[in-house]
Amino acid sequence: MNGETTQVLLAVEAEAYVEALEQFGVKDVGSPSWARQHEHLEKLNMQAVISASAHEDEFVKEALITFEKIPVLIQDLLVTEVWKQRIFPELINSGFEPRTTFPLYMVLYHEATVINLLETVLFHRETCEAADDTILDLVDYCYRKLTHLVARMSSEDEDDEFEIGTPSVTSSTSATSMEELEKQGGSLDFDISIKAVTLIRYITDHLEGLPLSVMTRILNTHDVPNLLVQLVEMPPWLRRKNGKVYKYIDSKWVEVSHEDSFKLTKIEGQVWIALYHLLMGGDCQKKYDIDSYRKNTLLKLRSHLTEILLDQLPVLGEMQRYLEQLSMMEPPAPQKSFVLEQVPEIRDGILKQWEGKWKQLAKKQSKTHFNPSADAIRAQAQRWAETYNMDVLEGLLTDPPKCAGCGQPATKRCSRCHNEWYCRRECQVNQWKRHKPACDLLFNSLQKMEADVKAAS
Which pLDDT score, from 0 to 100, does residue 296 have? 94
Would you tell me how many other CB atoms lie within 10 Å of the CB of residue 236?
20
Q: Taking residues 423-436, report their average pLDDT.
A: 82
Nearest partner of 142 among 91, 86, 78, 185, judged by Cα: 78
- Find the range with the poorest average confidence among 79-83, 355-359, 367-371, 405-409: 405-409
What CA–CA distance (Å, rounded) separates 442 from 419? 8
Confidence category of residue 252, pLDDT binned at 50, 70, 90: confident
Residue type, 122: L
Residue type, 12: V
DSSP H or E run through 298: helix 292-299
Which pLDDT score, from 0 to 100, does residue 378 have? 67
DSSP H or E run through 221: none
Q: Taking residues 125-133, report their average pLDDT.
A: 94
Which pLDDT score, from 0 to 100, does residue 168 have? 40
Helix (H/G/I), strand (E/B), else coil: 48: helix
pLDDT higher than 70, residue 305: yes
Please tell me which residue, 253 or 388, carries the higher pLDDT value: 253
| Alpha-carbon torsion, ordered 222, 232, 166, 249, to 10 deg | 110
Most confident of 96-105, 292-301, 401-410: 292-301
Which pLDDT score, from 0 to 100, does residue 136 have? 94
Most confident of 87-91, 151-155, 175-179, 299-303: 299-303
Q: What is the pLDDT of residues 214-239, one digit of tens each?
A: 999 999 999 999 999 999 999 999 99
Would you tell me how many other CB atoms lie within 10 Å of the CB of residue 353?
12
Residue type, 212: L
Q: Taking residues 285-291, report their average pLDDT.
A: 90
- Find the range with the poorest average confidence among 77-86, 243-252, 279-288, 440-449: 440-449
User: In this structure, are residues 403 and 422 in contact, taking their beta carbons and an 8 Å threshold?
Assistant: yes
Please tell me which residue, 95 or 383, carries the higher pLDDT value: 95
Which pLDDT score, from 0 to 100, does residue 337 have? 57
What CA–CA distance (Å, rounded) separates 369 from 102? 11
Which pLDDT score, from 0 to 100, does residue 170 have? 38
Strands 244-249 and 421-422, sheet pairing: unpaired
What CA–CA distance (Å, rounded) separates 80 from 87? 10
Nearest partner of 195 among 156, 142, 159, 135, judged by Cα: 142
Which pLDDT score, from 0 to 100, does residue 120 have? 95
pLDDT higher than 90, residue 198: yes
Residue type, 13: E
Would you tell me how many other CB atoms lie within 10 Å of the CB of residue 240?
9
Residue type, 177: S
- Residue spans per domain, the chain: 11-399, 400-457
pTM value? Answer: 0.81
Q: Taking residues 48-60, report their average pLDDT.
A: 90
- Find the range with the poorest average confidence among 320-324, 387-391, 435-439: 387-391
Which pLDDT score, from 0 to 100, does residue 339 have? 56
pLDDT higher than 70, residue 99: yes
How many CA atoms does the CB half-sphere of 66 hold within 13 Å? 13
How many CA atoms does the CB half-sphere of 408 hold within 13 Å? 9
Q: At what angle do helices 346-353 and 134-154 cross, to 10 degrees?
A: 80
Would you tell me how many other CB atoms lie within 10 Å of the CB of residue 427?
19
pLDDT higher than 60, residue 167: no
pLDDT higher than 60, residue 106: yes
pLDDT higher than 80, residue 420: no
Beta-carbon contacts of residue 85 (< 8 Å; ≥ 6 apart): none
Confidence category of residue 130, pLDDT binned at 50, 70, 90: very high
Q: Taking residues 175-179, report their average pLDDT.
A: 70
Q: What is the pLDDT of residues 309-354, one digit of tens each?
A: 999 999 999 999 999 999 998 876 656 555 556 678 899 999 999 9
Per the prediction, the chain carries an average pLDDT of 84
If you ran DSSP here, which 8-state letter would residue 301 be given? G
Which pLDDT score, from 0 to 100, does residue 362 have? 93
Which pLDDT score, from 0 to 100, does residue 384 have? 63
Which pLDDT score, from 0 to 100, does residue 336 have? 56
